[in-house]
Amino acid sequence: MQKIIILDFGSQTTQLIGRRVRELDTFCEIMPYNKFPKDDPDVIGVILSGSPYSVHDPEAFKVDLSQFVGRVPVLGICYGAQFISHTLGGKVEKADSREYGRANLQTVDTTNALFRGFDQNSQVWMSHGDTITAIPDGFEVIGSTKDVTNAAFWCKKPTVNCQLSPVWAVQFHPEVYHTLQGKTLLKNFVVDICGSRQEWSAASFVDSTVAELKSQLGSDRVILGLSGGVDSSVAAVLLNRAIGQNLTCIFVDHGMLRKNEFQQVMDDYRCLGLNVIGVDASEKFFADLAGVTDPEQKRKIIGRDFVEVFNAEAKKITDARWLAQGTIYPDRIESLNITGKVIKSHHNVGGLPKEMHLQLCEPLKWLFKDEVRRVGRQLGMPEHLITRHPFPGPGLAVRILGDITPEKVRILQDADDIYIRGLREYVDTDGETLYNKVWQAGAILLSTVRSVGVMGDERTYEHPVALRAVTSTDAMTADWAHLPYDFMAKVSNEIINKVRGVNRVCYDISSKPPATIEWE
């Protein structure tokens, strides 16, 4: 299959480049800057990402450009552009002031293949401390802003000093939302310049993956741990289509799911024809969490207990040979950064317990979250499962500040239920529900805090609840959702009136970064 290789130099937006390429129905792989697959005949183009480093830093990441230049078209973005210039004889210098934020391409060569369809004065997004003050011999400037003369440049024909053919470089970020014609630029590169046949689609993925699973698994029995979330649910339906009743799913209830969620999800899975075992292990989890207040310790206890409960159930299926997981592509990218340091742990990424003696099957390992949802629709899954908001593996345990008790979980479940139902029921002026407009929402119980209130003629001293809702495309960055005032007033009033133990409702207006989506 045709593919674009994205070499990752450590940029926070590398995944966004990948998602934009996939949106063009083109397969891509994000690889560490020093892991270019030299002998892969399917590579049709290479993109060099940005980086937190300057090209002048002693520890800056470097790649041998001769591995791919001249073979396939190349596009350098931000650091990628600076690295190309610096390596080939241009000049990169520290900018007088950090060039960050919106800028306009006041001069752009729209006859160049990279900028076909571009408007003059098109808005782009800059984010760099260095700037390219001179481009290498053989290159030509094709885009400038008021402050950045060499905002975009290219080399068409090899010369003595330019061994690239062809190569493009831009100092701005076409992958981010604020570059208004960024999708046009990437389409020009991926489709028109690299020649993508745009064969990567949900339908083709389902057909090829089902065939691969049938070949890989044969008549073997497979175990899959379900969470109720989109990823594991789509993985289950995909496997069920390939191997039917040879798939056994295990759904563990740790007692900190949303209100009535365990039974609702079990009913959904059975309607999908899945072979599901439900395990209520809430007593064990509550007992092991008693008195624990540290967020990381909560996560570790829940993770440990989940593995114990899951393994105990899985061992009953004595003829199982495979463990399936709903691992998706961002899980694998985020688990290790390019320096090898763990920056984010995932419940479904890592080694298998040795005593299980199972092989690993990850049918969604190449997909981004939005692609998983498209595959779910292709498989005919119900929309309420496909559009379900992300939910943390530890559940409400990381939405309760302080120690965990069944009573605190009950309070938060009731408040959260009112909030989420309200989002599903409120139809905005454009005919869309607030739930579908929001990436993720939930309530947080501030159980370490009490506030004074008055209900009737009585003084109360109860807990506040904070509501959280964010908009995002990938959870790497997120902005707080601007929910309508009338909706907020109704939900606040209903929570205070109906949920025993709550007398105050707040709304979290923090964005990521600097805050995270979850409080713990």
Active site residues: 78, 173, 175
Q: What are phi and psi of 104, to 5 degrees?
A: -125, 135
Task: Please give the full DSSP string across 212-281, using - where no structure is assigned.
Answer: HHHHHHTT-EEEEEE-SSHHHHHHHHHHHHHHGGGEEEEEEE-S-SSTTHHHHHHHHHHHTT--EEEEE-
C-alpha to C-alpha distances, 340 to 173, 264, 337, 362, nearest whole angstrom: 25, 40, 5, 22
C-alpha to C-alpha distances, 315 to 222, 296, 321, 323, 351, nearest whole angstrom: 12, 28, 11, 12, 17
Name the token pair of 49.
Answer: 């990402």
The Cα–Cα gap between 502 and 493 comes to: 11
CA atoms within 13 A on the CB side of 125: 13
The radius of gyration of the chain from alpha carbons, rounded to an integer in Å, stands at 26
CA neighbor of 325 nearest in space, from 449, 236, 228: 236
Q: What are phi and psi of 362, to 5 degrees?
A: -130, 85
Name the burial class of residue 474, with classes exposed (0-12), middle (13-18) and buried (19+) by CB atoms within 10 angstroms of its CB. Answer: middle
The Cα–Cα gap between 471 and 448 comes to: 28
Name the token pair of 429.
Answer: 């002026």
337 three-class SS: coil
The Cα–Cα gap between 192 and 184 comes to: 11
C-alpha to C-alpha distances, 493 to 108, 415, 418, 499, nearest whole angstrom: 54, 11, 10, 10
C-alpha to C-alpha distances, 476 to 31, 176, 369, nearest whole angstrom: 18, 12, 12
| Angle between helix 485-498 and 406-425 (nearest 10) | 150
Name the token pair of 474.
Answer: 């990938």
What is the DSSP-derived secondary structure letter of residue 478?
Answer: B
The answer to whether residues 71 and 86 touch, using CB atoms and an 8 Å cutoff, is no
* Number of neighbours of residue 276 by Cβ within 10 angstroms: 19
* Number of neighbours of residue 293 by Cβ within 10 angstroms: 15
The Cα–Cα gap between 518 and 520 comes to: 6
Helical segments of 2-58, H only: 14-23
